Amino acid sequence: MSPAMQLIVTGRQVDVGETLRTHVSDALDAILGKYFGSAIEAHVVFAREGHLIRAEIEVRLSRGILVNGRAAASEFYAAFDAAAERIAKQLRRYKRRLHAHHAKNRGPEETVEREEQARSYILAGGEDEAEEVADGHAGAPAVIAEMSTELPQLTVGEAVMRMDLADSPFLLFRNRSHGQLNLVYRRGDGNIGWIDPSLEPGRSNSVTAGRASR
């Protein structure tokens, strides 16, 4: 493992041995060295799901840039290797898109002018959850987790690349061109949706999968 990257390997109701940890470390070092160079930290979780083992990988490449991969198989190594291949595939695609994006815009690599801190919450859900009073309003769902998250300042193209890299269904960001909050998200039809409150009437707020380089 690269000395600059912190690696955490954990098991949920399963034992993770030192041999598997070494395999994880060597594999991630090889992938990152080939496609990105280095990372800040990586967290790999193994969990049992019925007769399968699920491996989930989260790698923080740099501030605000995450890549996720997950897979399930009948044994630990196969599950991790499949999840790691997803990470490698996403990094290959991200690197290709990044080069194309920079060639088109003639700008510096992934320049983020400002990173804001925002709060994200996990709310209790489901019909069986009891309604509680929150923020002075009766009937509001209970907050079961509160976290700090970064709100990046990006172009729409950069936001789509980051969303795809993190394998996330959406990404909230501040549009670098005008400073307003925007949202990109995955649509059920395979296209990428884009919500921009500052758009002028008549302009499209949805980009196709091809245009979004998905």
Please give the average per-residue pLDDT across 159-177, as a whole number. 82
CA–CA distance, 105 with 36 (Å, rounded to integer) = 21
Structure tokens at 87: 């990470």
Which residues belong to CATH 3.30.160.100 in the chain? Answer: 6-105
Summary mean pLDDT of the chain: 76
pLDDT of residue 129: 47
Which residues belong to CATH 3.30.505.50 in the chain? Answer: 115-120+146-207
Share of the chain above pLDDT 70, in %: 65
Among candidate residues 188, 181, 180, the one with its CA nearest the CA of residue 209: 188
Are 158 and 194 in contact by the 8 Å Cβ rule? The answer is: no
Task: Kindly report, residue by residue over 52-81, the tens digit of the pLDDT.
Answer: 999 999 888 876 678 889 999 999 999 999
May I ask the CATH class of domain 115-120+146-207? alpha beta
Among candidate residues 85, 64, 95, 82, the one with its CA nearest the CA of residue 166: 64
Residue for token digits 């949805």?
206
Could you tell me where the DSSP H helices lie in the chain?
A: 18-35, 76-105, 156-165
Reduced to 3 states (helix: H, G, I; strand: E, B; else coil), residue 170 is: strand
The pTM (predicted TM-score) of the whole model is 0.59
Are 94 and 102 in contact by the 8 Å Cβ rule? The answer is: no
Q: Which residue has the higher pLDDT, 109 or 54?
A: 54
Terminal-to-terminal C-alpha distance of the chain: 31
- Axis-axis angle for helices 76-105, 156-165 (nearest 10): 170
pLDDT of residue 199: 60
Q: Which residue has the higher pLDDT, 135 or 214?
A: 135
Domain at 6-105: CATH code:
3.30.160.100
pLDDT of residue 100: 65
